[in-house]
Structure formats: C-alpha cells, structure tokens
C-alpha cells in the first residue's frame, strides 16, 4: 500500500479560510446566534491597585429598570472556589475581588441586564467604598521585607524561590579567564489581538451543567481549573469554541476567569449571559507577558568560549499566580543554554507578586525574556574581549554531529545544523555588504550598528515542564506529569466524503488549509475533497488537556496526528480494497481519487471503497475494522517528566534562527532607521511555504512593536497608564520594513511529518537583534526596551542644545514621562467685577449650573461642597462623586481649591490656585494653575487624552461662568474668552 506521489504538502496553496474572512463571513464569538432572553453583562473594575473593599452599595443599580442582577465578590465566592495556581502557595486566586483589590482593573462587581447599555449605566450607580493600601509594582522591591504584602496568607510576595545546578558551575567560574555579566529589565507587553475576549454562558439547573461558548485557545488543562473552581465534575462543564477567532498571540488563554464569572452570573440569573470585552478592559486587565529582572553571568575563556552560565531571574506574575503561570518562567528551562554547547549551569528562579494585572501566555512566552539576556550577553562578550561577535557565536554553537543533543538542563534538541545555517546567512556577501554600509555611514559621521542573534525556537511544549517549579519531593507526591497529546479525527460519510476534526482552535493561522493538504496526500485525494473543522466542543469532540493552539504545536503535533489518523484509515481501506480487487494489500495505491491494484483494470473510486462501512459493513468482514471514523491521540515518548535532578525536556522540537540586521540611529531625534534585516530559519520540513513566511513576518512585526513601541506602563502607585492605542503603540504596515527570509531544513526525527514550530521564533530573536545593533551603533552596554525616541536619545552622547529665548510667557509645565499627573495654568476673562465672581463661586445653585456634567451640588459648609457629576474623557464616560474645599481665602482676590472625585471609572484628586483681578473695564481676569492626579480606568487612557480633556473641562467651566455673569452677551463673551491652559 502506498501513495503514488505527495503533490500537495509543501505547496503554497490558497488558504480556504480567507474567502469568508475577507468578505465579512467569519463566525466569531460575537457573531454567533444567542438564545432568546439572553442577558448582557458589564464589569465594574477597581480604580485602585491595592485597597480594601469597605462597602458596596448596589441598591440604586438594582433599581434601574432592565437590571436583572448586580453580582459582587461574595456572591461569586459562595458558588465557587479559588482558581488553582501552577505552584504551591497560600494565595487565594479568585476571578473577582472579594474583600480586597490587588490591581487596577480587577473586577469588583458585575451588572447583568436586558441590554449591554443598561448594564453599563448600572455600573455608574454602584458605589464602592475603598480604603487604599500602599502598592508595589517593582518585582525587586516586592521581595523586600518592608514591601506591602499582597496576600495575608503568605509571608512574602515572593511565592516561589527555586535554585538549580547542572554540571559544576562553581568550578567553571573559578577556572574562567573572565566573568562577564549583564543585568536586564524586560518590560511588559501583550498580544493586542483584533478580537477581544467573549463569553456566552448558560446553566442547566436540572443537570447541574455549565455550557460555555468562548474564544478560549487552550491549553485545555485550564478546563480542569475551571470545573474545579465552579465546583462541578469535568463532564458538567462544556466549553465550546467558535469556528473563527480574531487573533490571540497567546492571550486568549486569559479569558478563563471571565468564564467563571459569566457562568456564575448565568446560574444566579437563571438565563444565559453574554459578555464581550471592550478594548479598554482588554488592555488594562486581560493578561500580559511577564516583565522579568535578570542577572546573567558567563564564565568565558580568553577566546570567547563559554564554560558556564549563572542565571538569576525574578518573574513578575502580577497580583495572582494565575494558571498556567509560572509557565512563562519555566517553558524555556530546558533551553537555558540556547543554541550553545554549555555544560555547567546555575539557575535561581523567583516568582514575585506585584499590584499589576496577572500575567499569562503571550507569543513566544519565556523566549523573549531569556534570549534578550543571553544574546545581549553574547554581544558583551565580543565587545569586552574585542572579538568578532559572529565568531563568538560560531565558536559556542552546538556542532552538527552532536544531534540529537541533550542540554545541560535536560532538553533534547532533535535536529539541526546551526553552523551551516549561520554560514549560509552571512554568506553570498550579505554580511560583507552590511559591514560596508556600516563603514561608509560611520565615515560620514552617522550612527550605524549591526546586530546578531542566534536562538533555538522550542515548540510542542511538554505538559510536565511547569512542574519543575516544584521540588522533586513535591512532584513525587503530586504524581508525574508529561507529554503533549495531539488529537485528530477523520470521518467518512455514506457517500465517501472525508471530514477531519482537530482539537487546535486556530486564531487565523490557516490550519484548515494545511490539514486538507496533509490528509489529501495520504488518501490520494485533492485538498478540495477534504472538509476540515476546527471549532472544538469538549462535550462531544476528542480532546485532552494538551489540546489547543499554543507553543507552536500545530505543524509538528496536530498536523502530525492528522497524518497518522489518515495513515491508519488508509491501511484499513487498503485491506478492504485488496479483497474487492483480489490483490495483496501492499499492492494497493491511492492517487487521483482512485484506489488501484497492480493491474490496469484493478481500479475503483475512492468513495466506493470508503463508503462500504456504511452501506455494506458485512463486506468489510475479515478485511479489518470499520472505516467510518478514526481518531488518533498522539504524544511523543521523548517528552518525559522532570527527573529527580530537575532535568526537563521542556519541548519536543527545536528550530534554529540566526538573525542579523543593520540599523542607523538619527543623532538628532533618536529614531532608529532599519536598513536591512535578514532572518535564517530551520523549522524542519516546511508544510506550506506561504504560511511559514506569514508566520515569520507576523512574528517580526510583533517583535518590532516589543522593541520600539509597546509597554504596559504603570505609575508607582499601580495606576495603569496605557489603556488606549494612543499610548500603547502598535507598529503598522508603514513602520514594518521588508525582511529577507532564508531557510534550511533539518527534519525532526521526533514528529510524524518532520515539521517543527515556526510561529514564535522572531518574537524571541528580533528584539535582541535590534538591541544589539543599537548598542553597536551607540557603543553602549545597557539597552532597555522599548527603544522609544526618548530612550534612545538618552543613550546618544550628544549635549542638548540650549533652549531658544522665550518671547512670551512660558508654557504650562507638562506631565513627566510615565506620570499620570496633570499640570496646567491659564487665564480667562469674564464680564463681571471680581466681587460678583467671588460670590458666584460660593453659591451652590450657581456652581450646579456651571460645573460641566453636574447633577447637583450640596453645601456642607461655607467652603466645603459635594457634587454629583458625569464626565467623559475620550472613550471613557462615567458618573463621579466630587468633593471640593476652599482654603487660603483672600476675598475677593484669591483662593485655593482642593478636591477629589471617585467613581466607577476611576479616581482623581488635586489642588489649584485661582486669582481674580479687575481688568480695568468692569471685568475680571481669572488666572489659575492646577496639579491633579487621576487613577483607575480614566488614568489608563493616557496623558494625551487626559491633558486635552482637562483643558476642555476647564474651558467649559469658565465659559459657563461667563454666560452666567453676563447672560445676554454670550457671543461677546465668546470673543472675549481668553487663553485656556
């Protein structure tokens, strides 16, 4: 039995997914129909990073027509248990704050109503009283003895501290010619997919079953976390994934807490509940890549050969160690020596909690953090030893004849020719040309640098790697965990048509196209003959805890499992065909939709043989088992549990990437101009060249953002600062240059098709390649991401030019970078005497009429007022309780105003000085200066919008004051209205 040819796999066939997506016919979670009577939820989030919840007044919100329920933390806690974490700690990990909030954006209440609009209005009516606590956002400071403790059940914010030793690193360092070290602060970023989280939950009280539709991506080990949290057995939690998902880049594993919240809401309301996350919610509270502080030391010879590495890593997992974390810290554990032959390794891994959003999986998770440190170190070795950086890399690479290669920390690298790939990349004059460009630029006085990096790209994660966070004794008590189960089902219907189902949950990668190619080759059909389904339903489909779309497991594992299922089915069909054609099974061939024997007339349509199990099962008889359905569960034997010595083969496949780039830094602006980027990949056997190129270009674009634009920023008190795309910047097609992509292929001996993963590699290699180039251009040793203009400018050793002379009044002071403090000053002219204006500012009725968005003012004392106002800032609009006090009164000339606002969307507070002076013509010049701070969702929209909104609100206040002072001269006032700060 054989296939005559393999014409489809390896071709760049058009994607079957694209027609529907490009014509608006995709079926995403928000597109799918919902049952009549489905309710809609909105989530109230904490404006504070760390505070006790003193009281929760929901009476007004519950009374709003159309509101069905207001659900608080204690309501959720009554029906659930805390979510299990990936490590042992005394942290209670609830999906909603119960008595205390620990990060800005943490859910504190859920409004469920007939429409989303009503639910959002209800949030404005919920009054939460908080008692603020000190916050900590730096992972190093978090571990200190005097740091604010996030969880009372723990003695420290460092909830895991493990050390590892492989080989004899102490001896290697003692004997080294040099010890070279580097310290890295890797920032937070995220995937920012086009589609945000979505959940539709339903509860059947008769059977106690939760039915959840959500754009979850896996790993499905989270299914067990969810069922346990909901206090039901696994068969009473049905997760359904939609056919399409609008991107993920890892982050949609983070929808899990909201699955619990909406499930509880559906149970309490007795009706289905739908929730679609908005963009502000996603940026502030969905999930994030970990920020990491790393100190890495290398023992090196004078020739640049590394003999030992010493890692010290502090992982910031945010407020809770939410499963599957600390996966980001341990996914690379077997790969801590990268592409290099280093036999002695020491590692210290700490997991720290801070008052920031809990972290999760983001494309390349763990790889960017590890390789930024390792490859920056390689560049520093070359610089400090005055060696060629390419020679230092080549000197340390694993030799080709060493594969399969076992690393010191336990990974088994399947195949590779690292030196051959490097030589191919720098060959054909490519490196020579980069160096020529650099020399010419430097001769002209320009800042030009070249960067290099070599990384190993792991794929198909071992489900047991996360248990390396436990000691050997703890693992022995918990039982072994390992493997990477992949699942595929092939079915034949009564007319002989072939359908395939995979448990992969793609987010736009084109899995249906590739699976059709693979199965068509095995069965001798055309890809158009194969129908592939990817929407997963845990209630009826084959799946395992490893199911899902993560860790670049599709080509190696899922496509491989599909290939194996097709082969099993083909073997059975060959036996049936052999009986029908009266030949031997090994003489049967499959090609062109036909099943043939060795003779010209020994031929039958594929569909006729394939359908026999439906129409004539008796004819199958002794030929073998049925051919209606074949399901394969495949896991590679190479993925074993961690050894007692903490050695772990953390991934099955290991591709290789060598990148080099040339960049120029604009000396005046700090802008980094990308001149050339070359990336060499070995991802094993390439199944679809076009999609591989797309994955590489997509990974490069995402890495471009991580390098130059993206950072989830927090103020020192934990307020979130980058809640819109005005401040969390993403690269567009304009900023993304073309790149040169090269390939070699060393097929993996461990996977059915010889394929390896390729979707995450440039997220690991590109940021550090650019950083090395910038370091080379500027001759600096410390490079921190993201390399925004201000950051690069600070690295350029050029004195600032003196400021030009100011002919006019100095501008109002601006907010400091990374700050969420607003400062300003200005003046306005009003057509009334200072004494009249003074009286108006102390009159309750006047204040109520001129404060923008005011619903009423209450006078507590002659100088103390309370107000209820609705304010909008950019995309954020909400209702606030405001308090205003006047002090330092100098009637009718000056006063200091101080106050605060608290609402569902944030907090604010500040002070300002107002002076009134006669203008000599019966009017008043009102001068003011202010400084205010904002927090919560309002702060997350960023400085640009906040500054503009503050100016607009002040302008509206003085415009209303002017109208009230001279009601019949509105147009005259408009002409007189002066400058606003």
CA-CA distance, 191 to 318, in Å (whole number)?
17
Q: Do 485-634 and 158-184+292-467+641-790 have the same topology in CATH?
A: yes
When comparing pLDDT for 366 and 951, which is higher?
A: 366
For residue 324, CA distances in Å to 199, 329, 427, 462 come to 20, 11, 42, 13
Six token digits for residue 638: 């190479």
Correct CATH for 821-976 of 3.40.605.10, 3.10.20.90, 3.30.530.20, 3.40.1170.60: 3.30.530.20
Average pLDDT score over residue span 483-510: 94
Chain center to CA of 652: 23
pLDDT at 812: 41
**Neighbouring C-alpha atoms within 13 Å toward the C-beta of 159:** 28
pLDDT tens, 693-743?
A: 999 999 999 999 999 999 999 999 999 999 889 899 999 999 999 999 999
CA-CA distance, 562 to 557, in Å (whole number)?
9
- Is-contact 383 325, C-beta < 8 A? no
For residue 390, CA distances in Å to 24, 302, 381, 452, 740 come to 48, 16, 11, 7, 19
3-state helix, strand and coil shares in percent for the chain, rounded to the nearest 5: 30, 30, 40
pLDDT tens, 433-458?
A: 999 999 999 999 999 999 999 999 99
CA-CA distance, 294 to 314, in Å (whole number)?
6
- Is-contact 551 504, C-beta < 8 A? no
Partners of 464 in beta bridges: none
Nearest CA among 489, 508, 500, 499 for reference residue 549: 508
pLDDT tens, 541-570?
A: 999 988 888 899 999 999 999 999 999 999
CA-CA distance, 199 to 519, in Å (whole number)?
33
Indicate the SS3 state at residue 743.
Answer: strand
> Within a 10 A sphere around the Cβ of 794, how many other Cβ atoms?
12
CA-CA distance, 547 to 542, in Å (whole number)?
9
- Is-contact 290 190, C-beta < 8 A? no
Residue ranges in 52-168 assigned as alpha helix (H): 59-63, 73-79, 116-125, 139-142
pLDDT confidence band for 885 (50 / 70 / 90)? confident
pLDDT over threshold 80, residue 432: yes
pLDDT at 904: 57
- Is-contact 367 328, C-beta < 8 A? no
> Within a 10 A sphere around the Cβ of 116, how many other Cβ atoms?
17
- Is-contact 592 524, C-beta < 8 A? yes
pLDDT at 832: 84
Six token digits for residue 376: 């920056």
Six token digits for residue 78: 């009554």
> Within a 10 A sphere around the Cβ of 51, how many other Cβ atoms?
25
Average pLDDT score over residue span 421-430: 98
What fold characterizes domain 34-133+191-285? Answer: Aldehyde Oxidoreductase; domain 3 (3.90.1170)
Parallel, antiparallel, or unpaired for β 498-502 and 530-533?
Answer: parallel
Give percent above pLDDT 70 in the chain.
90
CA-CA distance, 624 to 580, in Å (whole number)?
13
Question: What are the boundaries of each domain within the chain?
Answer: 34-133+191-285, 158-184+292-467+641-790, 485-634, 821-976
pLDDT tens, 809-852?
A: 334 444 443 445 667 788 888 888 888 888 877 787 877 777 77
Partners of 532 in beta bridges: 500
485-634 is a CATH 3.60.15.10 domain: no
pLDDT at 807: 41
Task: Tell me the pLDDT of the chain averaged across its residues.
Answer: 90
pLDDT confidence band for 903 (50 / 70 / 90)? low
- Is-contact 805 206, C-beta < 8 A? no
- Is-contact 894 915, C-beta < 8 A? yes
CA-CA distance, 278 to 276, in Å (whole number)?
7
R_g of the chain computed on alpha carbons: 32
CA-CA distance, 750 to 837, in Å (whole number)?
82
Correct CATH for 158-184+292-467+641-790 of 3.30.365.10, 3.30.930.10, 2.60.40.790, 3.20.20.450: 3.30.365.10
Average pLDDT score over residue span 90-119: 97
Parallel, antiparallel, or unpaired for β 39-45 and 273-276?
Answer: parallel
pLDDT tens, 506-529?
A: 988 999 999 999 999 999 999 999
Average pLDDT score over residue span 598-613: 91
Tell me the backbone φ, ψ of residue 616, rounded to 5 degrees. Answer: -140, 65
pLDDT at 621: 64
pLDDT at 818: 42
pLDDT tens, 343-379?
A: 999 999 999 999 999 999 999 999 999 999 999 999 9
pLDDT confidence band for 906 (50 / 70 / 90)? low
pLDDT at 850: 75
pLDDT over threshold 90, residue 934: no
Parallel, antiparallel, or unpaired for β 924-935 and 821-830?
Answer: antiparallel
The 8-class DSSP code of residue 554 comes to I
Nearest CA among 655, 799, 674 for reference residue 734: 674
pLDDT tens, 753-808?
A: 999 999 999 999 999 999 999 999 999 999 999 999 999 999 997 655 666 554 44
- Is-contact 582 786, C-beta < 8 A? no
């Amino acid at each position: 039995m054989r296939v005559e040819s393999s014409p489809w796999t390896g071709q760049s066939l058009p994607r079957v997914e694209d027609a529907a997506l490009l014509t608006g016919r995709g079926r995403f979670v928000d597109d799918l129909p919902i049952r009549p009577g489905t309710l809609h939820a909105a989530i109230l989030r904490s404006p504070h990073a760390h505070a006790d919840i003193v009281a929760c007044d929901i009476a007004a919100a519950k009374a709003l027509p159309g509101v069905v329920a207001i659900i608080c933390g204690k309501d959720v806690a009554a029906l659930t248990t805390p979510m299990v974490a990936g490590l042992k700690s005394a942290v209670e990990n609830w999906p909603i704050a119960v008595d205390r909030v620990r990060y800005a954006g943490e859910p504190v209440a859920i409004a469920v109503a007939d429409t989303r609009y009503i639910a959002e209005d209800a949030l404005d009516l919920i009054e939460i009283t908080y008692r603020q606590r000190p916050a900590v956002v730096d992972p190093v400071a978090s571990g200190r003895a005097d740091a604010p403790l996030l969880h009372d059940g723990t003695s420290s914010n460092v909830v895991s501290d493990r050390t590892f030793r492989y080989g004899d690193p102490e001896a290697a360092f003692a004997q080294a010619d040099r010890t070279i070290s580097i310290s890295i602060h890797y920032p937070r970023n995220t995937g920012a997919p086009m589609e945000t989280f979505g959940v539709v939950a339903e509860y059947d009280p008769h059977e106690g079953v939760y039915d959840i539709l959500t754009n979850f991506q896996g790993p499905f080990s989270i299914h067990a976390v969810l069922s346990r949290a909901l206090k039901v057995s696994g068969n009473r939690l049905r997760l359904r994934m939609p056919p399409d998902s609008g991107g993920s880049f890892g982050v949609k594993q983070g929808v899990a807490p909201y699955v619990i919240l909406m499930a509880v809401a559906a149970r309490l309301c007795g009706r289905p509940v739908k929730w679609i996350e908005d963009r502000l919610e996603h940026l502030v509270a969905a999930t994030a890549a970990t920020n990491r502080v790393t100190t890495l030391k290398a023992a090196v010879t004078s020739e640049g050969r590394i003999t030992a590495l010493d890692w010290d890593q502090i992982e910031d997992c945010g407020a809770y160690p939410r499963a599957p974390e600390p996966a980001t810290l341990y996914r690379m554990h077997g790969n801590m020596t990268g592409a290099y032959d280093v036999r002695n390794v020491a590692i210290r891994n700490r997991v720290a909690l801070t008052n920031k959003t809990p972290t999760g999986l983001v494309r390349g998770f763990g790889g960017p953090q590890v390789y930024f440190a390792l490859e920056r170190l390689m560049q520093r070795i070359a610089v400090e030893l005055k060696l060629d950086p390419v020679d230092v890399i080549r000197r340390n690479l694993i030799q080709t004849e060493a594969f399969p290669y076992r690393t010191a920390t336990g990974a088994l690298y399947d195949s590779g020719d690292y030196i051959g790939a490097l030589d191919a990349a720098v060959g054909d004059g490519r490196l020579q040309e980069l160096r020529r460009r650099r020399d010419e630029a430097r001769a002209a006085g320009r800042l030009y640098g070249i960067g290099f990096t070599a990384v190993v790209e792991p794929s198909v994660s071992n489900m047991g790697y996360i248990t390396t966070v436990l000691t050997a004794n703890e693992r022995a008590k918990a039982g072994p965990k390992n493997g990477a189960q992949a699942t595929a089902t092939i079915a034949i219907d009564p007319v002989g048509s072939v359908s395939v189902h995979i448990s992969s949950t793609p987010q736009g990668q084109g899995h249906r196209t590739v699976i059709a190619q693979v199965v068509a080759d095995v069965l001798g059909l055309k890809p158009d003959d194969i129908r592939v389904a990817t929407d997963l339903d845990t209630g009826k489909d084959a799946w395992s805890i490893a199911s899902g779309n993560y860790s670049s497991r599709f080509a190696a594992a899922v496509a491989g499992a599909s290939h194996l299922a097709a082969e099993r089915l083909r073997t059975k069909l060959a036996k049936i065909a052999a009986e029908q054609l009266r030949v031997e099974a090994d003489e049967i061939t499959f090609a062109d939709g036909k099943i043939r024997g060795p003779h010209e007339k020994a031929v039958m349509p594929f569909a006729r043989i394939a359908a026999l199990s439906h129409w004539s099962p008796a004819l199958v008889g002794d030929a073998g088992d049925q051919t209606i359905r074949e399901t394969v569960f495949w896991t590679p034997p190479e993925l074993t549990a961690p050894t007692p010595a903490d050695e772990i083969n953390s991934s099955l496949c290991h591709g290789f990437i060598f990148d080099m780039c040339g960049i120029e830094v604009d000396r005046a602006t700090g802008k980094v101009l990308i001149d050339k980027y070359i990336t060499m990949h070995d991802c094993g056997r390439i199944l679809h060249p076009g999609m591989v190129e797309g994955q590489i270009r997509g990974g490069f674009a995402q890495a471009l953002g991580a390098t130059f634009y993206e950072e989830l920023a927090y103020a020192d008190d934990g307020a979130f600062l980058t809640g819109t795309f005005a401040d969390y910047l993403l690269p567009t097609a304009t900023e993304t240059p073309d790149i040169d992509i090269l390939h070699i292929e060393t097929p993996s001996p461990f996977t059915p098709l010889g394929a390896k993963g390729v979707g995450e590699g440039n997220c690991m290699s590109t940021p550090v390649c650019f950083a090395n180039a910038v370091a080379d251009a500027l001759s600096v040793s410390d490079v921190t991401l993201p390399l925004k203009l201000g950051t690069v400018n600070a690295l350029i050793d050029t004195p600032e030019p003196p400021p030009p002379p100011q002919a006019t009044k100095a501008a109002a002071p601006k907010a400091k970078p990374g700050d969420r403090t607003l400062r300003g000053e200005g003046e306005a002219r009003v057509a009334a005497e200072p004494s009249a204006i003074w009286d108006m500012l102390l009159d309750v009725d006047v204040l109520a009429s001129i404060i923008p968005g005011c619903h009423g003012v209450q006078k507590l004392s002659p100088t103390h007022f309370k107000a209820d106002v609705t304010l909008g800032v950019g995309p954020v609009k909400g209702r606030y309780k405001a308090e205003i006090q006047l002090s330092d009164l100098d009637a009718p000339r000056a006063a200091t105003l101080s106050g605060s606002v608290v609402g569902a969307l944030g907090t604010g507070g500040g002070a300002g000085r107002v002076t009134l002076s006669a203008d000599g013509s019966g009017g008043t010049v009102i001068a003011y200066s202010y400084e205010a701070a904002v927090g919560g969702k309002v702060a997350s929209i960023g400085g640009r919008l906040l500054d503009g909104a503050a100016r607009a609100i002040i302008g509206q206040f003085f415009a209303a004051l002017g109208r009230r002072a001279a009601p019949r001269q509105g147009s005259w006032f408009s002409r007189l209205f002066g400058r606003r700060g």
